[in-house]
Amino acid sequence: DAGVTQSPTHLIKTRGQQVTLRCSPKSGHDTVSWYQQALGQGPQFIFQYYEEEERQRGNFPDRFSGHQFPNYSSELNVNALLLGDSALYLCASSDGLAGEQYFGPGTRLTVT
Amino acid sequence: AQSVTQLDSQVPVFEEAPVELRCNYSSSVSVYLFWYVQYPNQGLQLLLKYLSGSTLVKGINGFEAEFNKSQTSFHLRKPSVHISDTAEYFCAVSPLPSGGSYIPTFGRGTSLIVHP
């Protein structure tokens, strides 16, 4: 049974560029949440998707947007990248909005 | 809103010694409590959780935690650590699901370093 998978593993972008990160949930899960983990910090909630709609959002600017597809996979898009966007981006999936969250290995984004 | 304070950023300990990682939280509503572990270059793995019932919660890999409502604490313990326990540990709290959803708030993490 495949767990949560994320791609790519690592990514290097330049300030001002745009990036798309991808997540496939654990089999049987229909809810995807995204987190940003800066170096030396705990993960911070970005947003959560269920039934292809954004259900909850954390304190992140509109430069951060997402999408959920009919197969429950999800994308995180970040526009106009800033140096401060450098972080590990974690995807977590769950069975329903209140289900236990299972985390993927993350995508390490470096903005230069 | 909820907040989590992990009182130690780093805890060094010798192999086979006991360890306690401290976590205090603040919330105006009832919460669920969690401990996660993150090994180098990996995502988070749930160690244990407190939802209700017994205040002593047992998790994977020999870890346990005790919920103390009066002290708003949820400290993680292990009676005898192994080298393989070296990792980053995160305490998290979440309000009881509202509208069907819960979102954990994480602490800044405690780095457990086990020396041979």
d(CA B99, CA B107): 24
User: Which residues sit opposite A5 in a β-bridge?
Assistant: A24
Instruction: Give pLDDT tens digits for A48-60.
Output: 999 999 999 999 9
Write down the domain spans for chain A.
5-111
Tell me which of A47, A97, A102, A107 to substitute to probe the interface with B (most B C-beta atoms closer than 10 Å).
A97
Considering B30-39, B80-89, B99-108, the range whose residues carry the highest mean pLDDT is B80-89
- How confident is the model over B51-64, as a mean pLDDT? 92
A40-49, A97-106, B53-62: segment of lowest average pLDDT: A97-106
Q: For residue B90, list chain A residues with Cβ-Cβ distance below 8 A.
A: 42-43
| CATH number belonging to domain A5-111 | 2.60.40.10
Contact A45 B41 (CB under 8 A): no
Query: Does residue B96 carry a pLDDT above 90?
Result: no
pLDDT of residue B31: 86
pLDDT of residue A38: 95
pLDDT of residue B52: 84
- How confident is the model over B25-45, as a mean pLDDT? 90
d(CA B64, CA A90): 25
Instruction: Give pLDDT tens digits for B71-80.
Output: 999 999 999 9
Contact B109 A40 (CB under 8 A): yes
- Distance from the Cα of A79 to chain B's closest Cα (Å) equals 24
Q: Under an 8 Å CB criterion, which residues of B touch A?
A: 4, 36, 41-46, 49, 90, 92, 97, 99-109
Query: Does residue A43 carry a pLDDT above 70?
Result: yes
A30-34, B49-53, B63-67: segment of lowest average pLDDT: B49-53
- How confident is the model over B9-20, as a mean pLDDT? 97
Q: For residue B42, list chain A residues with Cβ-Cβ distance below 8 A.
A: 105-106
Query: Average pLDDT, whole number, for chain B?
Result: 92
Structural domains in chain B plus CATH codes:
3-115 (2.60.40.10)
- Asked if A36 and B89 touch (Cβ cutoff 8 Å), the reply is no
Higher pLDDT pick, A19 / B95: A19
Query: Does residue B12 carry a pLDDT above 80?
Result: yes
Burial bucket for residue B81 (CB in 10 Å: 0-12, 13-18, 19+): buried
- How confident is the model over A63-80, as a mean pLDDT? 97
Q: For residue B41, list chain A residues with Cβ-Cβ distance below 8 A.
A: 105
User: Which residues sit opposite A106 in a β-bridge?
Assistant: none
d(CA A9, CA A4): 13
Q: Which residue of A has its CA nearest to B91?
A: A42
- How confident is the model over B14-24, as a mean pLDDT? 98
Conformation bin of residue B9: beta by default, left when phi > 0, alpha when psi is -120 to 50: alpha
Q: Which residue of B has its CA nearest to A58?
A: B103
Query: Does residue A2 carry a pLDDT above 80?
Result: no
